[in-house]
Chain A
């Protein structure tokens, strides 16, 4: 097991190398950091000497070999903590990126904590009586929930709890944007939680739908399996059959799925965050992207990629841990 982890982590290094290099090239092509810099600093742009200096400092040479050399310049800076400063505002990137990351993780984890228990419960609830009304209800709900895009559910919820509620009762029931009310300063978990209710719901809707469907399918598979018949033939209680045999087995693919899902969170909430003005990775990305801010986009990409790679590893480990048939060596 340990050998496997070490080996996979070692593998992750070249993977990250390759991925970040590809991302580096793609981003440089897409954002053209030199042009962004020139746009942001018009007077510098007229000074070829200063522009050349910017190219040298940040490794923005043209051509494939220039990209390769530039990548290593970037990589060295990144690894040694000498990150390139943002194009817009010439600020260090990490402080803002860190805040965005923390905010997104908070939102994502809350959503996971809400959606997994609810989604799994619904899936179990449906699978226990396949074909019955409850099954149909859960399935229909899941299809609807799955097809409702976050920006649609967000707008509906905002209109209802914010605008419409304010019209009826004088003030909105739930805040519709931001992390705190305007003017609030400092950390206040209760207030923040209130502001996160709608974003969490919006992020959770699709997750709940997909978890319930996966859980239902997985549990039905197990419920129809031979070993479950064996378990029943033992004369143990139905409850024990379900918990010890059915759920344990049905959870194997779900845990894997959840791990991959969580790994995608840091980069996956862009739309929901934008609709709620939620200051997370998505909003960070959108801002950086609209400024063509290469030095901000690269670390963002590295974090997203690392998260996906790391959670892939965790998914494999979880799979092996839950299913003795899987061997890691």
Chain B
């Protein structure tokens, strides 16, 4: 892939050491995000999609072991010291989280929280200037009366407004990459659309690369340029958004699509079974235990991503299954 990637991850592995054993949350994820591009990362809870990016940001606990590589520009983040990570965090890479109420500090005014982000990477700036910049940012993300709102606390905001605050905070330093971890999950549908619009506007205006982590394929369809589907800590399928929705070759992706409510379809078909226990993930294709098309060979080597039709798919039977579509 191109060296101009805003974010480039290679073979990222995250293991949590717990009392019960090692949880292999991420087992070799690679991806690239280009400036101005939206990469959707899709998967069920526990598929490792959030963990991958928290690992990149260095925000996981002490019990997480991170291997592989994650580069922002020329800066390697895996194994980097705190100083390097701090320079990158909030500056080159910013993150917004799922629940903006708990993600905002309840006892600090929102303006101050945004200003703190500004100050963190503009050491010479005065507090007043930072505060002014915070108000500007709140204005940019579409918060009305930003000066007054800046003096309020998170609990005085609605959910959507809070997420706007989070976005304002995230874009404070014109980051190259914006990681949005389920940014709309906790919000009403109408508000969801507004937030997505804000993110899209930012991307367009600033040329920011956006990683959109979600389990909501609707959001992906609307926002993403490309999509990666994750299952059990691995990328199982990767494609541009149109191909994924129309020519997916991985049974899991198809299952996900079938479980999404779509206008006109009469019934939803959820994927049977539950995600695997990551203490001891199944050998071979981790999805085979839930897969309607599983065959003995699925238990063999871990399938690699290979180009099948218009998507890259990690399924040994992809070629055969193509016919079933």
- Residues of A in contact with B (beta carbons under 8 Å apart): 225-227, 229-238, 244-245, 248-249, 252, 322-325
Contacts and interface: CB of A to CB of B under 8 A. Distances in A.
B168 to A, nearest CB: 12
13 contacts: A230-B166, A233-B95, A234-B90, A235-B88, A235-B90, A236-B120, A237-B86, A244-B116, A245-B105, A249-B105, A252-B107, A323-B106, A325-B106
Contacts of A233: 57, 59, 89-90, 94-95
Interface in B117-156: 117, 120-121, 153, 155
Nearest to B112: A244
B223 interface: no
B102 A227 contact: yes
A214 B91 CA distance: 36
B106 A324 contact: yes
A234 B105 contact: no
B117 A234 contact: yes
Nearest to B63: A131
A249 B106 contact: yes
Interface residues of B, number: 30
B57 to A, nearest CB: 6
Interface string B92-107: 0011010100111111
Given A234-B169, A236-B116, A227 B95 contact: no
Given A234-B120, A324-B153, A229 B59 contact: yes
B59 to A, nearest CB: 6
B190 interface: no
A286 B59 CA distance: 57
B87 interface: yes
A237 B85 CA distance: 10
Nearest to A226: B102
Contact of A232 (B89, B99, B108, B153): B89
Contact of A234 (B106, B107, B116): B116
Nearest to B156: A324
Nearest to A130: B62
A227 B91 contact: no
Nearest to B83: A237
Central interface residue in B59, B89, B107, B121, by most chain A CB within 10 Å = B107
Contact of B107 (A237, A238, A248): A248
A229 B103 contact: yes
B107 A323 contact: yes
A322 B82 CA distance: 31
Contact of B105 (A230, A235, A237, A322): A230
B94 to A, nearest CB: 7
Given A226-B97, A325-B153, A232 B59 contact: yes
A248 B109 CA distance: 13
Given A233-B57, A324-B153, 5 more contacts: A234-B117, A234-B169, A322-B107, A323-B106, A325-B106
Contacts of B102: 225-227
Given A233-B57, A234-B90, A227 B120 contact: no
Contacts of B108: 244-245
A325 B120 CA distance: 26
Contacts of A323: 106-107
A313 to B, nearest CB: 21
Given A233-B95, A235-B91, A325-B155, A227 B105 contact: yes
Contacts of B94: 233
Contact of A226 (B57, B99, B121): B99
Contact of B103 (A226, A238, A248): A226
Nearest to A324: B153
A232 B90 CA distance: 9
Contacts of B90: 233-236
Contacts of B121: 235
B122 to A, nearest CB: 11
Nearest to A248: B107
Contacts of B86: 235-237
A232 B169 CA distance: 13
Interface in B43-92: 54, 57, 59, 82, 85-91
Contacts of B107: 248-249, 252, 322-325
Contacts of B91: 235
Central interface residue in A229, A230, A248, by most chain B CB within 10 Å = A230
A230 B106 CA distance: 12
Q: What are the nearest 8 A-B pairs in CB distance?
A: A235-B89, A235-B90, A226-B102, A234-B90, A227-B105, A226-B103, A324-B153, A235-B86
Contacts of A248: 107
A48 to B, nearest CB: 68
A328 B117 CA distance: 31
A227 B104 contact: yes
Contacts of A231: 105
